[in-house]
Amino acid sequence: MSGFSTKPPYPLEDFKALYKCCIIIIIIKRELLDNVKARKLAYYGHIMRKQGNCLEKEIMQGTISGVRRRGRPRMAWIDNIKSWTGLSVEESIRMTEDRNKWRKYVHGVANPRIEDG
């Protein structure tokens, strides 16, 4: 006798329930992240459409003067926008000027369709 059992230590139904629970958690996290992405993109468009030099616009564009502390650079809003949209800063600002076009674009970026292979 080798000391190993071919019988699983727990019933198979327990593993199936745990797997199902993990899948549900992953789906909920994905929906939450998509919601956050859509809201951040919508807020970015709202701020970029403002006229003049308001404080929010300057902060988002990173044009505030000053020196940062040492250490790892923080992730900036504009970095998220560039990575999510695949557009340059100038292109995204130009696109936000047309509100309806930006809304459609945000909906497409935040709610990607999964294509069947």
Residue 23's Cβ-side half-sphere holds a number of Cα atoms within 13 Å equal to 6
Chain position carrying tokens 């929010």: 56
Q: Does the residue 85 lie in any domain?
A: yes
Predicted local confidence at residue 116, as pLDDT: 42
CA atoms of 110 and 36, how far apart (whole Å)? 9
Q: Does the residue 57 lie in any domain?
A: yes
Q: Does the residue 7 lie in any domain?
A: no
Q: How many CB atoms lie within 10 A of CB 42?
A: 16
Query: What distances in angstroms separate CA 19 from CA 13, 27, 43, 77, one per listed residue?
Result: 10, 13, 36, 35
Domain membership of residue 48 as a residue range: 12-63+74-110
What is the block-wise mean pLDDT of the chain (117 residues), using blocks of 10 residues?
64 76 85 88 89 80 73 80 87 89 85 56
Q: Does the residue 79 lie in any domain?
A: yes
Specify the number of domains making up the chain: 1
Q: Does the residue 2 lie in any domain?
A: no
Q: Does the residue 78 lie in any domain?
A: yes
Q: Does the residue 69 lie in any domain?
A: no
Q: Does the residue 115 lie in any domain?
A: no
pTM, rounded to two decimals: 0.67
